[in-house]
Chains A and B, each alone.
Chain A
C-alpha cells in the first residue's frame, strides 16, 4: 500500500536525500577550487574560500614606519601609507604586538620624547617628532583592516601564460588534449561498426564474440601494461602518442562495443527491416539510420571515454611520458607540482581547476544528449 497517490514512500525520501548529499559532495570541492584559484597566497592562508565573497577584517602584518623626513614648523615629520589598496579601511591600530588594536583611526598617540603618531582610516600615517629621528629605530604599526572581496587572474597568468615558468601547465594542457581527442574518437569509430554488426547482422559465432567482449570487460588494465609496452617497443612504436592512443583504444573498446551494441539492439527491428525493404544496404542502414539514432549512446560513451582518458595518469606514464618531459600530461604535471610547490595552494588550486575545467565543460555541453530521447515518434 506504499504507492497510494499522494503518499511518498520512505524510499523516495532516501533518494532525494542521497541526491542532495551527492550534489553537495560534488559541488563544494569544485566551487572551493574555483574560488581559491582566483585568490592570492595571502588570502588563502588567512581565510577560507567561503569568506572570499564577503568583506573581511583581518590583521595586517606589522609595518615599520619609514620614509623621508621633512621639517615642518620646527618638527620633523614622516608621512606614508600602510597599504596601497585604496579601498581597504583601517578599523584599529597599535604600536605594540601586545596591543595591536589599542587605537582607533585618527587617534593621535604620544610615543616617548614628544614623538606623536597618527594613522588615518585610509591607512595614511603621520609621525611627528621634535628632534630628528634619523639614526633612531622607528616604531612599528600593527593594524587591523577590512578589505572588500578581491580576486586576481594572476594565478592563471602565471600557470598558463608565463613562458619562463617551468611548472607551467600550458604544454601539459595541450599534450593532454593531444592524447584525449584521438583516444575518444578512435574507439567510438571502431566500436560503432562492431556494435552494429553484433546487434543486427547475422553471422556464425556472433554470440561467442559478444560473450568474449563481455569477458574482456573484466580484464584489469594493469595486467596488460607491461606486455603491451614490450610489444610497442618491439614493433617500433616505442613511447609516444600513437602508442597511447592505441592503448586507450584497446582498453576502451570492450565497454564501448558492449554499451553501443546493447543500445543498438534495442532500436526497433521494424525500422531496420523497413530500411531493408526500402533497398538500403547494411552500410547505408548503419550510416543513415543507426548512427543518427544511436547519437545519445555515442555521446554518453564519448563522455565516459573522454573523462577517463583526460584523468588518466597510469596509461600516460607507461606509454607516453619519457625522460625529456616534453610529453608530460596534466595529471603528471599536478603530481610534480605537489612535490615542488606543495605549499603554494594558489598554484595547486589553479592547476587543479584547469584540469577539471574541460571535463566540466564537456559534461555540461553534452548532457542534454544523455537525457534526450531521439526515438520519440518512430513507433507507436
Chain B
C-alpha cells in the first residue's frame, strides 16, 4: 500500500543536470516500468527513489511523507539489483533473513517469512546452499525472495533480467508477472531497456530520454498514440518509419505530400492554419501494406530478413529520409529487388511537427 509522488525532482552532479523536471504519481498496486536508452538516467531515478542517490532538487514522497532525506532502510522499499548482489558468504536462507535479523525480528517470524517466500519462488530445496552453487535464474529468484520477506511497500527492480539468457528471461518475466498478480497491493517500479519486458509487465510505462520524462502511459497508449518522435521510434521493433513531408490538406483527415514523392492520408485532425506545415509522418513497419492506389512510398526492396512469422523488407533509401522498413506477415523470399508501392490505413499514420505529435497539441 503505497503511493509515490515525485514533484519536480532533479538530479545534478555538480553543474551537470542529468535529470530534471521529473513529475510522476504512482498509485498503489501499479507496476511502473522505466524505459529509455542507455544513459538516460532511468537507473539513477530508481536509485534516487531507493535512497542510494541524493535527490538534488524537488520533492519525493511515499504516502504523503517526504522521503528526500530518509535513509533507504526507513523508506519501506526493497530493491532487486541487476547483479543480484547476494551476500556470497551466506546461505540462501541467511541471505533472505538478513534484513529481518537486522530489524531484530523474532526467529519464528523470520522462519515463517523465509519459508513463505521460498515456497512462492520454489527455492525450498536450495535454502542451505551458498549463492555460488546456484544457477543464474535461481540467484535471481533469491534476490527477489530477499525483497519479498521484508514485505515492503515498494519493490524496486533494477534491470533484474539482463543477466539471464533469452529462454530464462522469458520464464522469469512470467514469474514476475505472476508474482505481481499474487500481490495486488504492492507497488513495483521496474527499470529495463528491453521494450518487450516493458510492454508485457507494465501497467504504465515511463519513457525517459534526454534527462526528462518523454511520455507516461499504458503500453498500448505508448504504442498507438506516441507523444513524440522519440517515443514513437523507441517503442516497437523495428522502429517506426519517419518520412518528411508537407501538409496539403487539412480537416478531420490530413493529407501530406511527402518529399519522396508519395502522398499520405492521416486520421490526425489538423487546422486550416496548418496548411503547408512541414511535418514528418510516422508509419510502423507492420502497418505498411502493398497498395495499388496512391502510395506513401514506392521503392525497390534491398534486403529481406525472413523471421518465419514475419518478413522484414528493407527498401533502398530515397532522399534525406532514413531507410524504410516494412514488416509483412508470412514468408516472402521472392520480393528482393522488386519495386513495391506501399500504403497504410489512415488511422495508423502519425503526424509529427518539430518532433511532437500533432495529436497532443
Chain A hits for B102, CB < 8 A:
278-280, 284
Q: Is B86 an interface residue (CB 8 A)?
A: yes
CB of B79 within 8 A of CB of A277, answer yes
By the criterion CB–CB under 8 Å, are A293 and B81 in contact?
no
Shortest Cβ distance from residue A375 to the other chain B in the assembled complex, whole angstroms:
6
CB distance from B191 to the nearest CB of A (A): 14
- The answer to whether B81 and A274 have CB atoms under 8 Å apart is yes
Q: How many residues of A contact B (CB 8 A)?
A: 23
Compute the total of residue contacts between A and B using a CB distance below 8 Å: 86
Q: Complex Cα distance A91/B300, Å?
A: 107
Give the CA-CA distance A271 to B77 in the complex, in Å.
16
Interface-lining segment among B18-26, B132-140, B304-312, B347-355: B132-140
Identify the interface centre among B51, B86, B103, B130: most chain A CB within 10 Å of its CB. Answer: B86
Judge if A289 is at the interface, Cβ distance under 8 Å. yes
From residue 59 to 113 of chain B, which have CB atoms closer than 8 A to chain A? 71-74, 77-79, 81-89, 98-99, 102-103
Shortest distance from the beta carbon of A379 to any chain B beta carbon, whole Å: 4
Cβ of B277 < 8 Å from any Cβ of A? no
A46 in the interface (beta carbon within 8 A): no
A377 to B133, CA, bound (A): 7
Residues of B in contact with A, size category: 20 to 34
| Identity of the chain B residue whose Cβ is nearest the Cβ of A281 in the assembled complex | B102
User: Does any Cβ of B come within 8 Å of A275's Cβ?
Assistant: yes
Check: A268 CB closer than 8 A to any chain B CB.
yes
Asked, given contacts A377-B131, A377-B132, A380-B136, whether A279 binds B103 with beta carbons under 8 Å apart, the answer is yes
Query: Min CB distance, A275 to chain B, in Å?
Result: 7
Indicate if A273 sits at the interface (CB-CB under 8 A).
yes
Q: How far is the CA of A271 from the CA of B51 in the complex (A)?
A: 15
Kindly identify which residue among A270, A279, A376 contacts B85, using a CB–CB cutoff of 8 Å. Answer: A270
- Which residues A275-334 have CB closer than 8 A to chain B? 275-280, 284, 288-289, 292-293
Chain B interface (Cβ < 8 Å from any Cβ of A): 50-52, 71-74, 77-79, 81-89, 98-99, 102-103, 130-134, 136, 139, 146, 150, 163
- A-B contacts, 16 of them at CB < 8 A, read A270-B81, A270-B85, A273-B79, A275-B98, A277-B73, A280-B102, A375-B88, A376-B88, A376-B132, A377-B86, A377-B88, A377-B132, A378-B131, A379-B83, A380-B83, A380-B139
The 3 closest A-B pairs by CB, nearest first: A377-B132, A279-B73, A378-B88
